[in-house]
Amino acid sequence: MIGFVGLDNIGLEGIEREYDRYMHGSLKIVTTQKDRKGRNLNPMDLDYNYTTRGNDVVLTIDEVLQNIAEKELETACLKWESNGGSVIIMEPKTGKILAVANYPTYDLNNAFSAGSDYMRNRAFIDLYEPGSAFKIITASALINENLVNTNDSIYCENGFYNINGRIVHDSEGYGSLTFGEVLEKSSNIGMVKFASRLSGEKFYEYIKAFGLNEKTGAGIPETIGFIKSIADWTGYSMGTIPYGHEISVTAIQMLSAVNAIANDGIIMKPYIIQSIMSGDSSIMESKPTQFKNPISKRTASIMRDLLTMAVKNGTGRNAQVEGYSVAGKTGTSQKSAGYGKGYMPGKYVSSFVGLLPVENPLISMIVIIDEPKGSYYGGTVACPVFKNIAEQSMQYLKISQGVKLVANY
């Protein structure tokens, strides 16, 4: 995230590169008289400081939360022998980014000894299929369009469903499930069947409304997620996109979208630059700014309740934090093949995205573990990371459950 500078003190990666024009000092012109041999006259009167000091860039990062996130992410990646992972912690009501952890990482003071795989900011650059975490978007669209009630029931085909010649599977065979239970148990079949109540065009509008087809504008380099134009959707698209396949996003995009659930339907623009200071004076100050408003306050409230049950009774059980209510959704997705078609056998991305306390969401967080070994379900791999970080974060922020307080950063 921070990046580094080269031997000439020019920023080469991360914030160092993006804001080099602010931080880099400038040459100062000094006018003087010289004699025939080029020697300055009256040299004692000259100011020999030929450069002006650069500005300070102040981040929104909380160093304690950053440290917690880095340690817990590293522990999990080593435990599961994964390729790497990312954690982002945000303040959903303002858009402040409180922590960005990536693993593997490198020593910024010895950057040239690290490879590019260590340098990239995975949380903002790497694309992945969100898998079942994307059901948050699908469910929100259905509720917002008044196409479902939470107690509506649908038959889930005992785990095996043929749609237009392709088979949709569930991890277990389910019969009839309510809409809420579809989220709790993360039934792909149930979500695809409910999603059929939406037209592809309307669903596509909601995906864009959540900002998943554009950069978040968080203030540092990021990748645009990949969403096919509605004109390119096939007869299978509505049988895969509702549960997070055939679409790619970044971690910051996914967390930003889910912040709508935490913030009564409003997505605040993510930002990581708090201010730019010239000495004691501010030349730029970031303020919370509304980015998107994809769903109503009512929809957000219903979704918080549903996602709370998904953690309490469903696939997100391992994300529960004692003394606090957590809402969130697991994700487990296969990795796309390098040539762009199909999936790599045995290669998965495990994730969990959530928020707490549900009554007054103070933080939201996404955890992504790339290619874990031994197990790959988001509930097993990513949820415990969320839990460990959230527990320590709540202790640090000294927030009591149900009490509306503002953390003193």
Tell me the domain boundaries of the chain: 58-397
What is the pLDDT confidence band of residue 45, given thresholds at 50, 70 and 90?
Answer: low
What is the pLDDT confidence band of residue 34, given thresholds at 50, 70 and 90?
Answer: confident
The residue ranking higher by pLDDT, 190 or 166, is 190
Q: Does domain 58-397 have CATH number 3.40.710.10?
A: yes
Q: Is 90 helix (H, G, I), strand (E, B) or coil?
A: strand
For the cut 90, the answer to whether the pLDDT of residue 36 exceeds it is no
For the cut 70, the answer to whether the pLDDT of residue 338 exceeds it is no
Nearest CA to 87 out of 105, 98, 73, 75 is that of 73
Tell me the C-alpha distance between 148 and 131, whole Å: 22
- Which secondary-structure segment (H or E) carries 397? helix 383-397
For the cut 70, the answer to whether the pLDDT of residue 405 exceeds it is no
pLDDT at 403: 42
Q: Check 82, 132, 140, 256 and give the catalytic one.
A: 132
pLDDT at 156: 96
pLDDT at 13: 87
What is the pLDDT confidence band of residue 140, given thresholds at 50, 70 and 90?
Answer: very high
For the cut 90, the answer to whether the pLDDT of residue 43 exceeds it is no
What is the pLDDT confidence band of residue 92, given thresholds at 50, 70 and 90?
Answer: very high
The residue ranking higher by pLDDT, 50 or 29, is 29
Q: Is 132 a catalytic residue?
A: yes
Nearest CA to 391 out of 90, 72, 135, 62 is that of 72
Nearest CA to 186 out of 201, 210, 166, 168 is that of 168
Q: Could you tell me the pTM of the whole model?
A: 0.91
**And the tokens for 307?**
């996602």
Contacts for 303 with CB less than 8 Å, ≥ 6 apart: 136, 139, 140, 143, 261, 295, 327
Instruction: Please tell me what DSSP assigns to residue 5.
Output: B
